[in-house]
């Protein structure tokens, strides 16, 4: 009589499809996954503890390094939390709010492009990888023109923005988004009707709406399981309630559904970007709160008063009233939230981050059980995790 034996194998952290430094302990019966256990911590940075020893302004660059594929979303969640803590949420100028939405949606496009590129490459489709990186490069150039950095932008500020949009920026973004729907059509033409792509994604990584909710899954991974929830609409921030867009929900609960959800989200991001460009009006980009906001750079370099003002805030920070706040934003991966506690000093007493990738990773064992080992790669890709955010 034939007997079977459960075999335990390590997948990662050296495996290229584990997207960074994720280790999976897989228990296999032949090629069927009986149990998958994620092991994390290889990239641990201690961002939350580091924040306790920095002023509120000095914490901001640390947030860039969390989800380094969507840095402006991390920045946005943090500055919104600090603004709520110090009570200046309503003082943020309209132009700053609109630019925040504009850059958040460009960042969503950028993040979804690299997700599609790497997800397709993991499953064996290389052409899409090259096309997605071509479009992503345009957004990286926008980042560089705006902030001087291609990835860790550090552009948003407590109270507004670090600088206004450079000359010609709005025209270049409009030209780019006019071409983007055609590029998305190309991606779909390469993948959606492809029989190999269908077999590798349909019915793979299934998770029901009930399980997704119980495990705290958010973002496209949740909406791909039929749950109609998006913070931009259901708990709006930065004026998202003034934009017309559709929350994409798919019902199939598998990798195929999440693929369609993200592609459709890219089209919705293009719509929001176009509306933001139409809404942009001249005006200030910083709140009129001189004890909290860093002065504009031109004031710092052109006047002694501005230099002193800048030096005082940078060296001493500002004190927030004792209290605690939580603010969540709709990152491309899901809800990223910041929980801040103030003890009345110029530094956070505690900062706790709710990372989308970390919470979504909880669903991976459930999605992998009963699948083939070859499908584990597709499941990791469909969750769109970033280890910088998981091992924060």
d(CA 353, CA 338): 5
Residue 338: φ, ψ to 5° = -120, 125
Residue-level pLDDT at 1: 54
| Per-residue pLDDT band at 340 (split at 50, 70, 90) | very high
d(CA 9, CA 17): 15
Angstrom CA distances, 176 to 170, 282, 289, 339, stand at 10, 22, 35, 36
Token couple for 308: 């002193």
**Per-residue model confidence as pLDDT tens digits over 18-47:** 777 899 999 999 899 999 999 998 888 899
| Per-residue pLDDT band at 263 (split at 50, 70, 90) | very high
Over residues 370-378, the mean pLDDT reads: 91
> How far apart are the two ends of the chain, measured CA to CA in Å?
50
Kindly state the percentage of the chain with pLDDT values over 90: 80
| Per-residue pLDDT band at 305 (split at 50, 70, 90) | confident
Q: What SS3 class is residue 230?
A: coil
Q: At what angle do helices 71-86 and 56-64 cross, to 10 degrees?
A: 160
d(CA 376, CA 17): 9
| Per-residue pLDDT band at 301 (split at 50, 70, 90) | confident
CA pseudo-torsion sign 110, 150, 307, 314: positive
Cα angle: 241, vertex 244, 246; to 5 degrees: 105
Residue-level pLDDT at 121: 92
Average pLDDT, the chain: 93
In contact, 247 and 230? CB cutoff 8 Å: yes
Token couple for 204: 């793979």
Select the more confidently predicted residue: 5 or 272. Answer: 272
Residue carrying the six token digits 């075999």: 7
Q: Which residues pair with 340 in a beta bridge?
A: 325, 351
17: pLDDT strictly greater than 90: no
Closest to 296 measured CA to CA, from 93, 6, 127, 53? 93
DSSP secondary structure of 279-348 = H--S--SB-S-TTTSPPPHHHHHH-HHHHHHHHHHHHH--PPPSEEEEEEEEETTEEEEEEEEE-SSSS-
Backbone dihedral region for residue 46 (phi beyond 0: left; psi -120 to 50: alpha; all else: beta)? left
Q: H-type helices in the chain, by residue range? A: 47-50, 56-64, 71-86, 94-123, 126-147, 169-191, 195-201, 209-214, 220-223, 231-234, 255-279, 297-302, 304-316, 356-361, 364-368, 373-383, 387-390
Token couple for 46: 């201690």
| Per-residue pLDDT band at 98 (split at 50, 70, 90) | very high
Integer-rounded Cα radius of gyration of the chain:
22
d(CA 349, CA 53): 9
pTM of the model: 0.94
14: pLDDT strictly greater than 80: no
Residue-level pLDDT at 72: 94
What domains, with CATH codes, occur in the chain? 7-39 (no CATH), 47-390 (1.10.645.10)
| Per-residue pLDDT band at 2 (split at 50, 70, 90) | low
CA pseudo-torsion sign 354, 63, 164, 308: positive
279: pLDDT strictly greater than 70: yes
Kindly state the percentage of the chain with pLDDT values over 70: 98
| Per-residue pLDDT band at 392 (split at 50, 70, 90) | confident
Helix (H) or strand (E) holding 36: strand 32-39
Q: What SS3 class is residue 152?
A: coil
- How is residue 91 annotated by DSSP? G
Token couple for 312: 């005082």
């Amino acid at each position: 009589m034939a007997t079977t034996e459960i075999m335990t194998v390590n997948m990662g952290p050296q495996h290229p499809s584990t997207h960074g430094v994720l280790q999976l302990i897989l228990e296999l019966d032949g090629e069927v996954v009986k149990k998958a256990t994620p092991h994390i911590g290889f990239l641990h940075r201690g961002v939350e503890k580091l924040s306790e020893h920095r002023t509120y302004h000095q914490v901001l660059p640390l947030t860039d390094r969390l989800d380094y594929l969507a840095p402006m979303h991390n920045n946005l969640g943090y500055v919104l939390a600090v603004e709520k803590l110090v009570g200046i949420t309503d003082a943020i100028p309209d132009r700053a709010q609109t630019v925040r939405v504009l850059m958040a949606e460009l960042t969503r496009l950028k993040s979804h492009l690299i997700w599609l590129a790497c997800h397709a490459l993991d499953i064996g489709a290389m052409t899409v990888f090259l096309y997605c990186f071509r479009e992503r490069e345009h957004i990286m150039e926008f980042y560089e023109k705006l902030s001087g950095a291609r990835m860790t932008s550090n552009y948003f500020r407590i109270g507004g923005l670090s600088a206004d949009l450079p000359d010609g920026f709005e025209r270049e973004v409009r030209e780019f988004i006019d071409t983007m729907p055609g590029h998305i059509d190309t991606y779909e033409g390469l993948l959606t009707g492809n029989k190999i792509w269908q077999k590798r994604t349909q019915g793979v990584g299934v998770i029901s709406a009930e399980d997704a909710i119980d495990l705290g899954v958010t973002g496209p991974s949740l909406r791909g399981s039929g749950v109609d929830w998006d913070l931009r609409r259901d708990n709006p921030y930065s004026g998202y309630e003034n934009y017309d867009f559709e929350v994409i929900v798919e019902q199939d609960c598998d990798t195929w559904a999440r693929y369609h959800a993200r592609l459709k989200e890219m089209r919705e991001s293009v719509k929001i970007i176009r509306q933001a460009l139409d809404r942009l009006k001249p005006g200030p980009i910083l709140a009129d709160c001189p004890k909290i906001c860093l002065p504009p750079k031109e004031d710092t370099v052109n006047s002694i008063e501005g230099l002193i003002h800048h030096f005082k805030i940078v060296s001493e920070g500002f004190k927030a009233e004792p209290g605690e706040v939580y603010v969540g934003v709709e990152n491309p991966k899901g809800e990223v939230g910041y929980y801040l506690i103030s003890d009345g000093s110029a530094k956070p007493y505690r900062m706790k981050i709710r990372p989308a990738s970390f919470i979504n990773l909880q669903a991976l064992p459930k999605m992998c059980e009963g699948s083939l080992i070859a499908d584990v790669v597709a499941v990791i890709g469909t969750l769109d995790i970033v280890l910088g955010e998981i091992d924060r």
